[in-house]
Chains A and B, each alone.
Chain A
Amino acid sequence: MTDSNWPLYEVFVRSRNGLSHKHVGSLHAADDEMALEAARDLYTRRSEGVSLWVVPSAAITASQSADRDPFFEPAQDKIYRHPTFYELPDEVKHM
Chain B
Amino acid sequence: MSRDDTRQALAEYALRLGDNSLILGQRLSEWCSHAPQLEEDVALINIALDLVGQARALLSYAGELEGRGRGEDELAFLRDVREWRNLLLVEQPNGDFARTIARQLLFDCYAFELYRALSDSTDSQLAAIAAKSLKEVSYHRRHSVEWTLRLGDGTDESHRRMQAAIDDLWPYTGELFEADAVDAALIAAGIAPDPAELRAAWQASVSQVLARATLAQPESMGLLSGGRSGLHSEHLGHLLAEMQWLQRAYPGLQW
Chain A residues within 8 Å of B, Cβ to Cβ: 1-2, 4, 6, 27-31, 33-34, 37-38, 40-42, 45
Q: Are B46 and A28 in contact (CB under 8 A)?
A: no
| Set of chain B residues within 8 Å of A2, measured between Cβ atoms | 36-37
* Size bracket, chain B contacts: 10 to 19
Pair count A-B, CB < 8 A: 35
Q: Are A37 and B142 in contact (CB under 8 A)?
A: yes
Closest to B44 in A: A41
Question: Besides the contacts A30-B150, A42-B42, what 16 more A-B pairs have beta carbons closer than 8 Å?
Answer: A1-B36, A1-B38, A1-B41, A2-B36, A28-B37, A28-B38, A29-B39, A31-B150, A34-B150, A37-B143, A38-B40, A38-B42, A40-B139, A41-B42, A41-B43, A41-B46
Q: Are A38 and B36 in contact (CB under 8 A)?
A: no
Give per-residue flags for B15-48: 1 if the beta carbon is below 8 A from chain A beta carbons, else 0.
0000000000000000000001111111100100
A41 with B36, Cβ < 8 A, contacts A33-B146, A34-B146, A34-B150 known: no
CA distance A28 to B146 in the complex (A): 16
| Set of chain B residues within 8 Å of A45, measured between Cβ atoms | 42, 46
Closest to A9 in B: B39
Q: Are A38 and B43 in contact (CB under 8 A)?
A: yes
Q: How far is the CB of B161 from chain A (nearest CB, A)?
A: 16
Chain B residues within 8 Å of A, Cβ to Cβ: 36-43, 46, 139, 142-143, 146, 150
Q: Are A37 and B43 in contact (CB under 8 A)?
A: yes
Closest to A30 in B: B150
Which of A29, A31, A37 has the most CB atoms of chain B within a 10 A radius of its CB? A37
Interface CB pairs A-B, < 8 A, 27: A1-B37, A1-B38, A1-B41, A2-B36, A2-B37, A4-B37, A6-B37, A27-B39, A28-B37, A29-B39, A30-B150, A31-B150, A33-B146, A34-B146, A34-B150, A37-B43, A37-B142, A37-B146, A38-B40, A38-B43, A41-B42, A41-B43, A41-B46, A42-B39, A42-B42, A45-B42, A45-B46
